[in-house]
């Protein structure tokens, strides 16, 4: 029998730390003032998969 090799897992995304989500600041008003609040958004580096 041939020896089995371990399958390496894909590396985790450095931007979202493998969660697939990033915090996006909320902009309000006509001048698009950034507030202290954040909303959840999809990571554009890994497209939400968590793997880069």
CA–CA separation, 52 and 42 (whole Å) = 13
CA–CA separation, 46 and 21 (whole Å) = 10
Res. 41 pLDDT band, cuts 50 70 90: confident
Mean pLDDT, rounded, for 26-47 = 88
Res. 8 pLDDT band, cuts 50 70 90: confident
Closest CA relative to residue 50, chosen from 24, 15, 23: 15
- The residue to which tokens 């931007």 are assigned: 15
What is the number of H-type helices and E-type strands within the chain?
A: 0, 2
Element (H, E) at 28: strand 21-28
Question: In the predicted model, is pLDDT for residue 37 greater than 80?
Answer: yes
């Amino acid at each position: 029998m041939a020896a089995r090799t371990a399958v390496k897992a894909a590396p985790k995304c450095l931007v979202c730390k493998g969660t697939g989500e990033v915090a996006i600041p909320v902009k309000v008003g006509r001048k698009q003032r950034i507030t202290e609040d954040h909303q959840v958004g999809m990571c554009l580096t890994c497209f939400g998969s968590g793997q880069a």
